[in-house]
Structure 1
Amino acid sequence: MSYPAESATTPVVETTKVPGPERRTIGELVASLSEQFSTLVRDELQLAQVQLAEKGKRLGTGAGFLGGAAVLGLYAFGVLLAAAILGLATVLPAWLSALIVGVVLLIVAGIAAFVGKKKIDASKEFQPKPQEGFKEDVDAVKRGIQK
Structure 2
Amino acid sequence: MSQPYVPEPDDRRESLGQLLGEVTKDISTLFRQEVELAKAEISASAKKAGKGAGMFGGAGVAGLLALVFVSVALWWGLGFLTGLVWSAIIVAVIWGIVAAILAMRGKKEIEEIQGVPKTVETLKEVPEAFKTSED
TM-score, normalization by structure 1: 0.56
Task: Give the gaps of 5 or more residues in structure 2.
Answer: 1-9, 120-135
State the Cα distance separating 1:21 from its structure 2 match: 7.7
Amino acid across the alignment from 1:65 = M
Aligned pairs (5 A) from 1:33-44: 33-44=23-34
Alignment partner for residue 89 of structure 1, among 75, 79, 82? 79
Taking the aligned partners of 1:21 and 1:96, their CA distance within structure 2 comes to: 101
Q: Which has the higher helix share?
A: 2
Task: Give the gaps of 5 or more residues in structure 1.
Answer: 1-19, 129-147
Amino acid across the alignment from 1:72 = A
State the Cα distance separating 1:95 from its structure 2 match: 2.4
Name the counterpart of 1:29. 19
State yes or no: 1:65 paired with 2:46: no
Name the counterpart of 2:40. 50
State yes or no: 1:75 paired with 2:75: no
Q: Using a 3 Å threshold, how does the CA distance of structure 1 residues 119 and 50 change in structure 2: closer, same or farther?
A: farther
CA-to-aligned-CA distance 1:24-76 (integer Å, 9 cap, x gap)? 43322322222122222211211111111111221222233223222222211
Higher mean displacement: 63-72 or 112-121:
112-121
Taking the aligned partners of 2:38 and 2:65, their CA distance within structure 1 comes to: 40
Taking the aligned partners of 2:105 and 2:28, their CA distance within structure 1 comes to: 46
Taking the aligned partners of 1:51 and 1:57, their CA distance within structure 2 comes to: 10
State the Cα distance separating 1:88 from its structure 2 match: 2.0
- What's the Cα RMSD here? 3.3
Amino acid across the alignment from 2:116 = E
